[in-house]
Amino acid sequence: MFGVSDGLLSNASLIMGVAGAQSHNSAVLIAGVAGMVGGAFSMASGEFVSMKAQRELLERELELERIEIHRRPEGERRELAHIYESRGVDPAVANELASEMMRNPDLALETHAREELGINPQELGSPEKAAVSSFLAFALGALVPLIPWFFARGQGAVLASVLVGFVAAGVVGAGLSAFTGRSWHRSTLRQLIVFAVPAALLYGLGHLLGVSVS
């Protein structure tokens, strides 16, 4: 949803800015396609680098924990028992649980990762999947306001672009409310405002600049 929203907002603003300058239809199309492809690659690469760095950091934390379990198992056992005690488990039971967990090195590592570091070793995230999903989500959102320019031109294309953009922004807002549990009216209105304000400002700025592409 956020990727779609980003693509919709950024490309709609770009399209409106170029269209406001009274450019030819081809210039708007070129700018829109460039904004869609460039933005999608930017989102994908940013997500990949971010997820890759996060995964490498978590893997380093897990490796350090694995070393500690190997070097000082008794200290790690007491540490785990203390965690259980702090959560209200009886000290005797906490010690028994910790001892049982430490018998298996793999189970000990997973338990320490979950209880001490808040990490699920099985779910560190995939940079590749994150990059692909970000690319597709952004491209989908960016394509929506561009579609009318393949079939229309001039003010008709501008109005159609704004209309489909409003509909898409409303759908995104309503979709987000399904995840947040908040009022869909408020979420939809907020998304419409977020879409309309920059698009209108960029259209006005383009109109003031009056750039004409022949």
- What per-residue confidence (pLDDT) applies to 145? 93
What is the rounded end-to-end Cα distance, in angstroms, of the chain?
Answer: 37
Q: What is the pLDDT along the chain (214 residues), one digit of tens a residue?
A: 778 888 899 999 999 988 888 767 888 899 999 999 999 999 999 999 998 998 888 888 888 888 888 888 888 888 888 888 888 888 888 888 888 888 888 888 888 788 777 777 777 888 999 999 999 999 999 999 999 999 888 888 899 999 999 899 888 888 888 777 777 888 888 888 888 888 889 888 888 887 544 4
pTM: 0.76
- What per-residue confidence (pLDDT) applies to 212? 45
Domain boundaries, the chain: 2-51+128-209, 54-117
- What per-residue confidence (pLDDT) applies to 163? 93
- What per-residue confidence (pLDDT) applies to 206? 84
Report the number of secondary-structure helices (H) and strands (E) in the chain.
8, 0
Q: What is the DSSP string of 24-54?
A: -HHHHHHHHHHHHHHHHHHHHHHHHHHHHHH
Please tell me the distance from the alpha carbon of residue 173 to that of residue 165, in angstroms, as a whole number: 12
Q: Is residue 77 within 8 Å of 102, Cβ to Cβ?
A: yes
What's the token pair of residue 16?
Answer: 């409106």
CB atoms within 10 A of CB 53: 11
